[in-house]
Amino acid sequence: MASPRICVLRAPGTNCDVETAYAFDTCGGRSDRVHLFRLIERPTLLDEYQILCIPGGFSYGDDIGAGVVFSSQLRGHLGDVVHQFLTADKLVLGICNGFQTLLKAGVLPYGAAGWGKSDRSEADATLTWNHNGKYTARWVHLKVAGSKNVFLRDISELDLPIAHAEGRLVPRSADVVETWRNQHQIAIQYAPWAAGSDGATNPINERWEANPNGAVADIAGLSDPSGRVLGLMPHPERFLFATQHPQWTRLNLEGNGAGLKLFQNGIDYFA
């Protein structure tokens, strides 16, 4: 089968599209970095791709909120083609600003069903300011929370970096979180750093709390019910090589970084 094609959709202010496209290409995909305005000019271009990825960055400068303008562009100009993409046997990945965009557009948490809702005033959740009130960039430890998501296949835990100011996931009610649990949509959660092989606490854990932004239920990423859409705040494209980990020598890491597996899973879905 031909290599799956990936649309890495960028907008003014996006700054992680090159690394994200490189990650997919390294895993055997064929990526194009497509500007949002180009897709608005020719919406049917999206039909040529099997994976849609919205990478991290600061689309439209986060001027009225992270992902707000990008999400309104998707809904206002690309509603039909995005809905068709969601209902097909295709994949969607949103990283950091991309997660914010997918959530505020209604793609997450309920996939094609959520996309059909015209009134976003009753959204089930939002991503808002970190509880420390500032931009935070550091590494976190994550656990996969029983999700059936395609991108997380055969992953139980991993370390990834974060870099965001509006990463605190806040649901409308406790019932929403319970629904996510029942539908296996809580994809990734922040977790304490694991002890070393000798039982010693990881030095990182002594400096940083496990949940860096105060997200409810420690949620770092959400899946749609189908398992074909994933949004996450941490950056897997920034851990493609073992040497990118801040403790790669202490932990004797070699070869690929743990983040590469998410992209490989996306490509392998079409094998």
Residues involved in catalysis: 96, 235, 237
Question: Which H helix or E strand runs over 265?
Answer: helix 260-268
Q: What share of the chain is helix, strand, coil (3-state, %, to 5)?
A: 35, 25, 40
The answer to whether 73 and 102 have CB atoms below 8 angstroms apart is: no
Radius of gyration of the chain (CA): 18
Contact 7, 51 (CB under 8 A): yes
Phi (first) and psi of residue 208, to 5 degrees: -125, 140
* CB-CB contact of 21 with 33 (8 Å): yes
Distance, first Cα to last Cα, the chain: 7
**Any alpha helices (H) in 88-189, and if so which ranges?**
97-105, 111-115, 174-182
Give 266: exposed, middle or buried? Use CB within 10 Å, 0-12, 13-18, 19+: buried
| Helices 17-26 and 260-268, axial angle in degrees (round to 10) | 60
Rounded-to-integer distance, Cα 197 and Cα 209, Å: 21
What does the alpha-carbon distance between residue 256 and residue 88 come to, in Å, rounded to a whole number? 31
Residue 60 CA to residue 69 CA, distance in Å, equals 7
The SS3 of residue 107 is: coil
